A and B are shown apart, each in its own frame.
Chain A
Amino acid sequence: MIEFELDGKQVSAPAGSNILEVALKEGRYIPHFCYHKKLSIAANCRMCLVEVEKAPKPMPACATPVTEGMKIKTCSKLAVEAQKGVMEFLLINHPLDCPICDQGGECQLQDLAIGYGRSKSRFEEEKRAVTNKDLGSLVSTEMTRCIHCSRCVRFTEEIAGFQELGMSYRNNHVEVMPFIGKTVNSELSGNIIDVCPVGALLSKPFKNKYRNWELSRRKSIAPHDGLGSNIIVQVDKYHKVARVLPLENEEINECWISDRDRFSYEGLYHDERNTTPMIKQDGKWINTDWETAILYAAKSINGVKEDHGSDSIGVLASNISTTEELYLLQKLMRSIDVVNLDSRLAQSDFSLDGKISGTLSLGGKVADLVNSKSILLIGSLLREEQPLIASKIRTGVKKNIELNVINVLKEDLLCDVKNQLVVDPREIVYTLAQVAKAAGVNLPSLNLDTVQISDEASNIAGSLAKGDGYIVLGNIAKSLPDYSKVLVLADAIAKITKARFGQFADLANEVGASLVNFVPYKLDSKLGLNAMQMLQEPRRAYVLLNTELEYDAYNSMQALAALKKADTVVVLSPFISEEMKNYADVILPITPFTETAGSYINMEGRWQKFNGVTRPLGDSKPGWKVLRVLANNLNLAGFDYNNIEEVRSELVELNNPKLLELQILTHTFSVTKPEIDSLVRFGIQRIYYGDSITRRAYSLQQTVYAKLPNLMLNPKLAIKLKLRAGEKINLEQLNVNKELPEATLCDKLPESVILVSAKVAAMAGRFDEIKVNA
């Protein structure tokens, strides 16, 4: 600890702290622009100049470390004069167009100009004007307002991982710009709007629509990945979400959010947002009232149950649903003996159902992951699945994490990767078995006799063996037809290397769904059908919560067929689509997360409650209320909740870390090298297509990321198939042919796979065999 004096007060701080940091902590505000606590120190704006006794000139507080006995004066005559001088320089070329600037009211320059500016400018020369830059569909620019603090540039390089913005030219001609003809394409790009202290970088979808002080600020939780980023949702006076900002939470999202979390709100007001209860009669859709619709739904469900038994009903939900919704839906269904419940929609291998105790989660805190020494990432498109965790891992890699990857696509992680193994999805188990064998896994239940260890596999084992390791599975791993083997092997490697082990959650509530037993294998005496089985062996009736199975299911072709065949499909969803109208019979317009109270349990098992940030749109209603009334209509006891707290009171016991402790009971198998003599589909969910809100977010859909090809194959495979880039391609799965447009060539894929994203609707299994027809 260093002892020193700050504005006459005796203060101590750890060695290495800078004056600005300490002063802010002590509640002494020192004006600053370029300093940002998460970015490297630039010390170039010079706004934070303070007086340090014995120093010959004022010192930048952001870059000056405190030293023993230092006497700092943050508002002495010298300090204030220096700060005012800098302010004058900042303003001479600034357009001073606050009245028409979106940043007005939340602008650091504006705020500080009041305290430090002159009332009249001494600058009577011509002001500089800077042309605006096209940064893409999310960020708009007013470059003349830029004060050259370089925060945005540093953000792209240091946090987003790839420098997409630069400061070109020199002297007062410096300009922030992307490479000519390029936009800012990072999955975290929106944060540059926040780091910009002035109105130079602004939200494009938000621009020129509001004055921010007219908006209310409400807390919520972002639903699009399993991190549970804390957000501020700003709502206008017409109860519409106007903008989403990060809410700082050091343990989760720090002060950042992904573009998906920031800009998905546009999807809330997409044309396909439905606010009217609807029922289908004689093949025709009619709008109706809630009473009628819920009664209709209750009757339909009851009818199928009476006629065909409760086993003929399948219940499928998306993990974007709130804990309360999932809890109530399973409670309701179990009350009528329906145990075919699942939210693991993209999973295809359920062989561990009933053989696992505890809950599959990250298996530790995000902090544990990013502070580990060695990570093995299995089957994850990290930047698309978990944009912020990817950034945190990058930061860790810069310090000391050894990152190892086994995946189907060579993803550019924008950091050093120690070992990166890119294999056919059918080889993942064999690859992992090599790592297991190299690590010394020797279990009676696992036969690894014929496994040959490659150099890379033994390097990975060696990296984990150094200790403080972490093994994580991503969405790709979870969808594999031999996911259970991946789990068992990864678990075994983790045990022997004393690494932590877990998996990323795809949407906000994967862990929540499991904890509230929205699964077919817990609680009940009999095992229910899992998501795959429910669609493989079509049910008479389906209840769907917040999902569009044509995109969400492992086998969307099969899902659509089953839904179309069913007698009754009850849909609870904020959205409606033509496809949905084909298969559904009742559509109950429930609200998205912004319009309901609820909670999400993130991948760490962290419970985060939230309130609706705005009232339900139109006639729509929160899902938990709809489910309560539905239960009442089914004459079920135990559903007389007056408020959401009463629902939550039944969940209290679930908030218990013990429930997360994962144990995999024995699972016996042997691993041999697979023969790869056919093509396999590599079916992923692209970054802006993972849930029904994001799919409909206009500006996100205009990004370079959203335009990533949905159909890709290795150029060598293309040669073999005599295909050329951009050509149509005829694909066949399960004897169904699809003519798909424009194959893109990509050498980051193995030669035996064809990437067909889940956006290309209604294909068969995401990781099943696929054929190419001439």
Chain B
Amino acid sequence: MLSNEALEKIDIELAKYPDNRQRSAIMSALRIAQSEKGWLSHELVGYVADYLKIPPVQALEVATFYGMYNLKPVGKYKLTVCTNLPCALSGGVDAALYLKERLGVGFNETTADGMYTLKEGECMGACGDAPVILVNNHKMCSFMTTEAIEKKLAELQ
């Protein structure tokens, strides 16, 4: 289900923890799996659990607990906008509203062309850079004014 490259990455994570503590690698293993497949299907969660030799329900608990795992398919780009209070004070909500209108979707929705999924985020520890938008979980974009958003969308094709 996963490429050798992904499995190698998981092995690197596994090596960080003591013997018999392979459960510790579940978060990164799910992250790596998601990065490759876009989202965590049940089969994928089960596969990762098997790879780590842990009960699948333990992997499911983790996949559903942490906010950045996609339990449903998402667009090519998942845009997560922080709207928490500090960000809201500096345009976080405005950025989200702008994106909603611009893309024609609400939170947790994907554009018809499958390009973008919009998500509301909680504090990303970057309040000083508000508005912030996280692209596909791993790329943070700061000071996302309307112009900056437009520029970013043009890049993300």
Contact = CB atoms under 8 A, between A and B. Distances in A.
A163 B55 CA distance: 6
Contacts of A177: 57, 60
Nearest to B49: A179
A182 B58 CA distance: 13
A165 B60 CA distance: 10
A168 interface: yes
Given A168-B64, A169-B64, A178 B42 contact: no
Q: What bracket does the count of chain A residues touching chain B fall in?
A: 10 to 19
Interface in B72-125: none
Interface string A175-209: 00111111000000000000000000000000000
A179 B60 contact: yes
B57 A179 contact: yes
Contacts of A179: 42, 46, 55-57, 60
Contacts, number: 34
Given A169-B65, A180-B42, A164 B55 contact: yes
Contacts of B57: 163-166, 177-179, 182
Interface centre among A166, A170, A182 (most CB of B within 10 A): A166
A166 B58 contact: yes
Interface string A149-163: 000000000000011
B147 interface: no
A170 B64 CA distance: 8
B61 A162 contact: no
Contacts of B42: 179-181
Contacts of B60: 166, 168, 177, 179-180
A39 interface: no
A453 B58 CA distance: 41
A182 B46 CA distance: 11
A166 B64 CA distance: 10
Contact of A168 (B46, B55, B61): B61
Contacts of A180: 42, 60
Nearest to B63: A168
A170 B56 CA distance: 18
Nearest to A171: B65
A167 interface: yes
A169 B64 CA distance: 5
Nearest to A173: B64
A545 to B, nearest CB: 44
Contacts of A166: 57-58, 60-61
A12 to B, nearest CB: 40
Contact of A182 (B56, B61, B64, B65): B56
A162 B55 contact: yes
A182 B42 CA distance: 11
A530 B65 CA distance: 61
Contacts of A169: 64-65
Contacts of B56: 179, 182
A182 B50 CA distance: 14
Interface in B29-65: 42, 46, 55-58, 60-61, 64-65
B121 to A, nearest CB: 15
Interface in A26-71: none
A168 B64 CA distance: 6
Nearest to B67: A170
A165 B55 CA distance: 10
A163 B61 CA distance: 11
Given A179-B46, A180-B42, A181-B42, A168 B65 contact: yes
A168 B57 CA distance: 9
Contacts of A162: 55
Contacts of A163: 55, 57-58
Contacts of A178: 57
A597 B11 CA distance: 61
A187 B157 CA distance: 53
Given A164-B55, A165-B57, A169-B64, 12 more contacts: A162-B55, A163-B57, A163-B58, A166-B60, A166-B61, A168-B60, A170-B65, A177-B57, A177-B60, A178-B57, A180-B60, A181-B42
Give 5 closest A-B pairs by Cβ, nearest first: A166-B57, A168-B64, A179-B56, A166-B61, A180-B42
Interface of A: 162-170, 177-182
10 contacts: A163-B57, A166-B60, A166-B61, A167-B61, A177-B60, A179-B55, A179-B60, A180-B42, A181-B42, A182-B57
